[in-house]
């Protein structure tokens, strides 16, 4: 019974390149959340998606960042023209229903982006 | 603005030395408070949900309690394997608002 799968686990990019992070939610989960964690900082909400819909993107920077969760395949967080400040751990989580109901999000192990 | 503040930032305990972690929150209309554990290099793992003041939940050496303004995570007779960062979170204007966590180290 696979949990939330994220890949790649580690990604190195040079400034100006693109980063694509993938997340496959737990089986049966249709809600996906992306969080960013900087060293010594807490988890910061970025975006909440259901299949084919962005429900809440209030935490996502307006430029260079985008997210999708297509009908088929994983959710993707895309960062264009990366800068050093984008270096962080990006966590994906999933839930079967709205997380605020139970608070139980199932997290992946994260993708660690390093921008040189 | 929804806010979650955890203290202390870091805590070092001897094995068997009980203590408590604090989580205070500012949110309009509390709809639950949630505790997670995060090990280094891993994603957070759900521990407890508390919904109303006075509620308590227990799991092994951990007990979570809730008042109207804050929550405590009590750790009784901790072991080295309890070493981790403990996060609390509340539903706010975004799905879950997390505190920065308390980094617990338990020394044998």
* SS3 sequence of A64-104: CEEEECCCCCCEEEEECCCCHHHCEEEEEEEECCCHHHHCC
Average pLDDT (A14-24) is 98
For A55-85, the pLDDT digits (tens) are 999 999 999 999 999 989 999 999 999 999 9
Tokens read off for B106? 């338990």
* pLDDT recorded at residue A23: 98
Cβ–Cβ below 8 Å for A48 and B94:
yes
Q: How many CA atoms lie within 13 A of A27 on its CB side?
A: 2
Tokens read off for A18? 């693109």
For B27-62, the pLDDT digits (tens) are 877 788 999 999 999 999 999 999 999 999 999 999
* pLDDT recorded at residue A96: 82
Report d(CA B20, CA B13) in Å as an integer.
11
Listed by number, the residues of chain B in 31-70 with a beta carbon closer than 8 Å to a beta carbon of chain A are 31-34, 41-46, 49
* pLDDT recorded at residue A102: 62
Q: Quick check: A94 pLDDT over 90?
A: yes
For B75-100, the pLDDT digits (tens) are 999 999 999 999 999 987 778 899 99
Rounded alpha-carbon distances, angstroms, from residue A21 to A84, A92, A110, B52, B93: 17, 9, 9, 37, 25
Phi (first) and psi of residue B82, to 5 degrees: -80, -5
Rounded alpha-carbon distances, angstroms, from residue A98 to A87, A93, B20, B91: 29, 12, 30, 10
Nearest CA in chain A to B36: A104
Under the banding of pLDDT at 50, 70 and 90, the label for residue B1 is: confident
Cβ–Cβ below 8 Å for A100 and B91:
yes
């Amino acid at each position: 019974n696979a949990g939330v799968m994220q890949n790649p686990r580690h990604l190195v990019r040079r400034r100006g390149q693109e980063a694509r992070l993938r997340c496959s939610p737990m089986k049966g989960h249709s809600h996906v959340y992306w969080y960013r964690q900087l060293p010594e900082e807490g988890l910061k909400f970025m975006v909440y998606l259901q299949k084919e819909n962005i429900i809440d993107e209030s935490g996502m920077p307006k430029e260079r960042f985008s997210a999708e969760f297509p009908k088929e395949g994983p959710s993707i967080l895309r960062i264009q023209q990366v800068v050093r400040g984008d270096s962080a751990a990006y966590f994906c989580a999933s839930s079967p229903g709205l997380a605020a109901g139970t608070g139980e999000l199932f997290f992946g192990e994260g993708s660690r982006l390093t921008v040189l | 603005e929804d806010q979650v503040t955890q203290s202390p930032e870091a805590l070092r305990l001897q094995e068997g030395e009980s203590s408590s972690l604090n989580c205070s929150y500012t949110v309009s209309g509390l709809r639950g408070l949630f505790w997670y554990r995060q090990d280094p290099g891993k994603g957070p793992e759900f521990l407890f949900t508390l919904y109303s003041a006075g509620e308590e939940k227990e799991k092994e050496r951990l007990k979570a309690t809730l008042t109207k303004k804050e929550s405590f995570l009590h750790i009784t007779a901790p072991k080295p394997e309890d070493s981790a960062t403990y996060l609390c979170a509340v539903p706010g204007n975004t799905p879950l608002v997390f505190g920065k966590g308390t980094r617990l180290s338990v020394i044998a």
